[in-house]
Chain A
Amino acid sequence: MIEWIILGVVVLVALLIIILYNSLIGLRNQVENAWAQIDVQLKRRNDLIPNLIETVKGYAKHEKSVFTDVTKARTAVMNAGTKEGKAKASGALTETLKSLFAVAENYPQLKANENFLQLQEELSGTENKIAYSRQFYNDIVMRFNTKIQLFPNNIFANMLSFTKQEMFKAQESEKKNVKVQF
């Protein structure tokens, strides 16, 4: 009799572990997928920048320091290895782009340039997409982290080597207003 009860408990626990494992795998894939979405948008923004700099240069040659700032920040995003590093570099790039567009304000002819206006719309659209994909990513990471920390999940999650995922943190200056508008 006792053997049967023990066997039943063992089978039940095994089943629960399988269900937990599968749902954690599903969630972790979602985290990865959401991260890929952020990466797509970061790349898109990086691709737009050289074109933007060329256009602005045509009207505002002397603003060299802004151009080098933006270029540096752009390279930093490309080279960042960790998620935390990427988040930081991305925030810094947003800041330098803001100052680039602030500079552009001083050149009325530039502001009337069709190409510039298009790039401006594309860039602020992409900035918003970065913000939205970050928001979605952080929501999923929070769900994942909560799930592996809850009792008794935490015991098995540890055994199955599921670890806490990093959030994509915004810089302090970005926190006030998520939406960016150039």
Chain B
Amino acid sequence: MAERLIHFDEIKKNNRVSVLLFFFFLILIGILGVVVGLFWGSIEFGVILALIFGLVYALIAWFSGADMLLALTKAKPATKKDYPHLVNTVEGLSIAAGLAIVPKTYIIDDTALNAFATGRDPEHSAIVVTTGLLNKLNREELEGVVAHEMSHIKNYDIRSMMIAAVMVGVIVMLSDFMLRSFLWGGRGNSDREGGQAQIIFIVIGLVLAILAPLIGEMIKLALSRKREYAADATGAMLTRYPAGLANALKKIKNDPDPLVDSANKATAHLFISTPFRKQKGWLTKLFSTHPPIEERIARLEQM
């Protein structure tokens, strides 16, 4: 369906962010290319090499990113035979969201209560829930959670999240590559002004290596916090029952085991609630990928 009901502006915002992220990505790759070029003695060569490398990586990640994520979190397809209730819920809510194609449903065998959605667009998307969530939530609560994930898909959040993840991946890989090639030592140009270039290269490489994960965190954080509120609201629109998601979030909050074993820093921003042990302090709050769960519950209860 070409037009989606109310959250049309959410989709527009996401498309803008996606384009912006892509240009940011190109510029960054260009800078890295210049640095590599300085090292090898030809800036053009470095830029072209970095662009080819970056774009090939981006293309591969674009088309297989969702599958890689699913493999990384050890998600398995949920069949209608084994999980009829879950599959029915996903099918129902994709009808409510007006999606032309039902997202694929996956299961993570983990006692923690969590869920996420991924994909490059609604036609190639997946919803993943843990078995813990399936076992501990009642029908309305599960519907609330699935509706929240369906909203991420419908609003194209999954796309900008995916681009962010790919970008961070490239930055980390390139800075890693630079550090390594410094360790092997530059060949051929050390007799010319290579010495000076090498120093610049090392410094920039080091700075990037330190900054890359930090930049990545900042981007993901900027992307995902507001989106959680928006997805909560859209989800409530889909089920017409905000209390379902609110109760689910309460259960998730009070669960003693928030840890998803297969989650790590790279996948944390995807989940419906932080997949790590609860930590306190302003620093963790600043770098949290999710808004405080109490605040989300309060907003749902006011609807």
Contacts and interface: CB of A to CB of B under 8 A. Distances in A.
A51 B1 CA distance: 34
A122 B241 CA distance: 22
Contact of B140 (A30, A33, A179): A179
Contacts of B92: 125, 128-129, 131-132
B240 A136 contact: no
Contacts of B98: 34, 136, 140
Interface string A137-148: 001100100000
Nearest to A37: B95
A158 interface: no
B250 interface: no
Contact of A135 (B3, B85, B96, B140): B96
A181 interface: yes
Nearest to A127: B92
Contacts of A132: 92-93, 95-96, 238
A121 B88 contact: yes
Nearest to A133: B95
Interface string A26-42: 10001001100100010
B67 to A, nearest CB: 27
A128 B88 CA distance: 9
B3 A121 contact: no
Contacts of A122: 84, 88
Contact of A33 (B1, B5, B139): B1
B183 interface: no
A118 interface: yes
B94 to A, nearest CB: 9
B1 A26 contact: no
Interface string A108-140: 000000000010011011101101110110011
Nearest to A33: B1
Contacts of B85: 121, 125
B2 interface: yes
Contacts of A181: 139
Nearest to A27: B3
A19 B169 CA distance: 44
A125 B240 contact: no
B128 to A, nearest CB: 20
Interface string B79-103: 0000011001101110111100000
Contact of A30 (B3, B93, B139): B3
Interface in B194-235: none
Interface string A6-38: 000000000000000000001000100110010
Contacts of B95: 37, 41, 129, 132-133, 136
Nearest to B84: A121
A178 interface: yes
Contact of B1 (A30, A126, A143, A179): A30
B141 to A, nearest CB: 12
Given A122-B84, A125-B88, A178 B3 contact: no
Contacts of A179: 139-140, 143, 241
Interface string B1-40: 1110100000000000000000000000000000000000
A179 B238 CA distance: 12
A116 to B, nearest CB: 13
A116 B93 CA distance: 24
Contacts of B89: 125, 128
Contacts of A118: 84
Contacts of A33: 1
Interface in A33-58: 33-34, 37, 41
A128 B96 CA distance: 10
12 contacts: A26-B2, A30-B3, A34-B98, A37-B95, A118-B84, A125-B84, A128-B88, A129-B95, A133-B95, A135-B96, A136-B98, A143-B5
Closest 10 CB pairs of A and B: A125-B88, A132-B96, A132-B95, A128-B92, A129-B92, A121-B84, A132-B92, A133-B95, A136-B98, A129-B95
Interface of A: 26, 30, 33-34, 37, 41, 118, 121-122, 124-126, 128-129, 131-133, 135-136, 139-140, 143, 178-179, 181
Given A30-B1, A128-B88, 6 more contacts: A26-B2, A33-B1, A121-B88, A128-B92, A132-B95, A136-B96
